[in-house]
Amino acid sequence: MKYVTLNNGVKMPQLGFGVWQVEDQSATAAVLKAIEYGYRSIDTATVYQNEAGVGRAIKQAKVNREDLFITTKVWNTDQGYDNTIAAFEDSLKRLGLDYVDLYLIHWPMPKHDKYVETYKALEQLYTDGQVKAIGVSNFEIEHLERLMKETDIKPVVNQVECHPHLVQQELKDFCKKHDIFIEAYSPLEQGGDVLKNEVLTEIAEKHGKTPAQVVLRWHIQNDTVIIPKSVTPSRIEENFQIFDFELSAKDMDAITKLDIGRRIGANPNEMNER
């Protein structure tokens, strides 16, 4: 496992395990399997409705709590200072924990204009020691600029959709300049046709790896934190086997050139659902 050092000094595994769209009961077995294979970072959220399942896995795992890195997120309906504090307490109870390692705002929801107030609640939770680090998800450059202007603690990560068909280079450059890590969700484009691309299949064959492993390695070498999701034990294991090979500069460039700006999720400026 490789670790990155966040801008507040906290170390975070560069490869994590995501549980989006995993049912609560299934989440326990999937997370236990991931921990067994060596994953130490688990990413959940209130809206996933599986925090309790993740919490059961944490309790059953034969790994010390301090060796795990647990992320959850405040959902859109809970934005606002007081609501966020209450939502965090509810998340802690469902997870069965007394702190989380990373707490994120799930979406900026610009139309509702509550993300600055919401982030101030995250700052308070951080100051109180209930979270080890705070950050955001799905924030565009303009949201980050305003947040850094109107709050005191810089986000440590910005978790966004990112894969070879949506490279997010401008956002990556901005975040790197401000020492904010990009954390990629849907790093494999949810198993989309990107994995069938001839460029990837040729690179994979050259390295004796699968196209999925090549894409995950591309993220790693781009200093991106990743949280691939699977409930299939063989895939969970496959996604972990990415630290024993290296892509060349030519490989990296060829993958980056697959960018077509295609989102499979919502546009952050248009996502105002509550």
Which one of the listed residues 48, 103, 126, 185 is annotated catalytic?
48
- For residue 119, give the nearest of 89, 83, 92, 94 by alpha carbon: 83
Distance of CA 253 to the CA centre of its chain: 23
Examine the residue annotation and report whether 48 is marked as an active-site residue of this protein. yes
Q: Are strands 11-13 and 3-5 parallel, antiparallel or unpaired?
A: antiparallel
Report the alpha-carbon distance of residue 87 to residue 78 in Å, rounded.
Answer: 6
The kind and range of the H/E element at 3 are: strand 3-5
How far is residue 2 from each of residues 5, 44, 223, 261, measured CA to CA in Å? 10, 21, 10, 28
How far is residue 148 from each of residues 6, 54, 142, 153, measured CA to CA in Å? 16, 32, 10, 8
Phi, psi of 6, deg, nearest 5 = -70, 170
Phi, psi of 84, deg, nearest 5 = -65, -45
Indicate which residues carry an active-site annotation: 48
